[in-house]
Amino acid sequence: MTTSEEQIEHVRDLVARIPAGAVVTYGDIAAAAGLSTPRTVGWIMRTDSADLPWHRVIGAAGRPAAHLAQRQLRLLAEEGVPIRDGRVDLRAARFRFPELP
């Protein structure tokens, strides 16, 4: 299935709305954007997120991708996101989009 420009822009808008000091998962964004899989969000983030707070999007286990881990965790820690043993404390830092239950 092809990802439309409208879907890409919706994901970009959602990522831009994540406040400093908070994180969301790829699945949170997929649900808010009406996408069928978090993998689509991952693809969009890999190809079109340089101007967004990409570091605030994390995997469901709270761990960043290995190739980004040091940089992402440093940026999140600078914003006050609680991190324990290389993992974001999702219970404390997770942002909920108002359009989701």
pLDDT in tens, 13-70: 999 999 999 999 999 999 999 999 999 999 999 998 889 999 999 999 999 988 889 9
pTM to 2 decimal places = 0.93
Burial category of 34 from C-beta neighbours within 10 Å (exposed 0-12, middle 13-18, buried 19 and up) = exposed
Contact 33, 14 (CB under 8 A): yes
pLDDT at 48: 84
pLDDT at 1: 61
pLDDT at 69: 93
